Structure 1
Amino acid sequence: MKLLGRKNDSSRKKDGEQPLNAAVAASAVDPEPGADGRERKTAPKGKPTPKRDAAKRRGPVAPAPLTAAEARRRRKELRGPKLSKEERKAEKLERRASMSERREKMMAGDDGYLLPRDKGPVRRYVRDLVDARRNVLGLFMPAALALIFVMLAVPSVEVQRLLSPAMLVLVLIMIIDGFVVGRKVNRLVDEKFPDNTESGWKLGFYAASRASQLRRMRAPRPQVERGAKVA
């Protein structure tokens, strides 16, 4: 019996066509090229894909250590040969000399060894402006420590009443001086670097934070003297 719209196998054979099952099997075994001209990498049914097959060929993964001693042994093997006492001492001295050299270059203002916040000609110019100025902010820490020492050493009610307003006045003076430093630095930076895109608030905060430190504790080390004219 013939179905409408279909041909039986005998008609297919007569016309020189392959049966439907044979065509499906042939397509599974011999993959056709894709749209880009490359052969498809899909494996036939019942066989692993190329990626899984490659993963199996890598070899077995080393099992996790069962004891702490085995873990230490593996770490020693990864480190390589054990160094002698003289070799360890020489390596330690070399590492310390390298760190000292990097710190010295950083303190000298070498741009390749500075922290990200200190890099660039704009930040260098700001540091020079702050270091050349006599800042009241630099007296904040010594004055605050002196007031705290007096408050603890002289527990008198009258002294406490005098020192509390003095502390508030000191903080107010520091805020005013920091604002003045920030405004001055931003004005001079705009004149020297008209293409500068850094915000004025960041530059002002950077200048005020450097001015609040003692001169000998500033990093990088000051490159200009007090009162010097910064071009």
Structure 2
Amino acid sequence: MFGRDKDPVTAAATSPTGDESNPTDVTGKGRPTPKRKDAEAANKRPLVPTDRKSAGKANKSASREARNREYQAMQTGDERSMPPNHRGPVRRDIRDYVDGRWNLGEFFLPIAAVFLVLQISLANSAPDLAALAVIILYAYVIFAIVDGFIMWRGLRKRLRAKFGEDKLGRGLVMYSLMRSFQLRPTRLPKAQVKRGTKPE
């Protein structure tokens, strides 16, 4: 009544498919489905260039060319390549206004250097004269500040009449005063008008 167990080899030979399926057989797409981590790794791209040395040289070259363009623009007055804080008709008008007048502040550095030398040289031999040199220097600084204030009052009135209050923006006071305290040959952008010339 009870049949005996079939031999494994005989069972495989008499299976309905005629052959036991191989767990490593490739079915469907003709290739095994890749694991998720393998697929993600294949799709990843490097965030930095593989050749960092060449990329660094290219970035340095581009930065150097940009700086050269800006410097050349500051020399010639070409606003298209100037830094943003120097662009626009308002700031160009400020530069022309400051460059067209004599400013006490622009001579502050050389005068301060002269009086500093006098103070040091006279400190032991003539202390009274050294103290007087300091007083004169401070007086000059006060006069230069007053001159800058007078300059800005006239300039602000002009800018309001020419461009309107809403077009002026911020930072114009410091922009004009800093330029008035710089020696004319050292100003950037370079002065485009002669002394005694007022912008139209």
Normalized against structure 2, the TM-score is what?
0.66
Give the match for residue 137 of structure 2: 167
Q: Which runs of 5+ in 2 are unaligned?
A: 1-34
How many Å separate the matches in 2 of 1:79 and 1:93? 16
Q: CA RMSD in A?
A: 3.5
1:225 maps to 194
TM-aligned CA deviation for residue 57 of structure 1: 2.1
Is 1:190 paired with 2:160? yes
Q: Deviations over 1:18-59 (max 9, x none)?
A: xxxxxxxxxxxxxxxxxxxxxxxxxxxxxxxxxxx8666212
What is the 5 A alignment of 1:94-105?
99-105=67-73
SS for the counterpart of 2:41 is coil
- Name the structure 2 match of 1:142: 110
2:174 to 205, 216, 221: 205
Label 1:93 to 1:206 Cα distance change in 2 as closer, same or farther (>3 A): closer
Deviation per CA, 1:104-149: give whole Å up to 9, x if none: 1232222222222211110000000001111111111111111111
What is the TM-score normalised by the length of structure 1?
0.58
**Where does 1:94-133 land on structure 2 (aligned, <5 Å)?**
99-133=67-101
**CA contact under 8 A between 1:134 and 1:226: conserved in structure 2?**
yes
CA–CA separation in structure 2 for the residues paired with 1:102 and 1:118: 11
Any conservation in 1 of the 2:119–2:131 contact (CA below 8 Å)?
A: no
Number of residues paired by the alignment?
160
* Cα distance between partner residues in 2 of 1:153 and 1:227: 38
**For 1:118 and 1:95, how far apart are their aligned partners in 2?**
19
- Amino acid of the residue matched to residue 39 of structure 2? R
Q: Which has the higher contact order (CA 8 A, sep 6+)?
A: 2
CA-to-partner distance for each residue in 1:167-212, whole Å, 9 max, x for gaps? 220111011011011111101101110254435x732221111011
Structure-2 separation of matches of 1:78 and 1:191: 58
How far did residue 101 of structure 1 move? 4.0
Task: Report sequence identity in percent.
Answer: 27
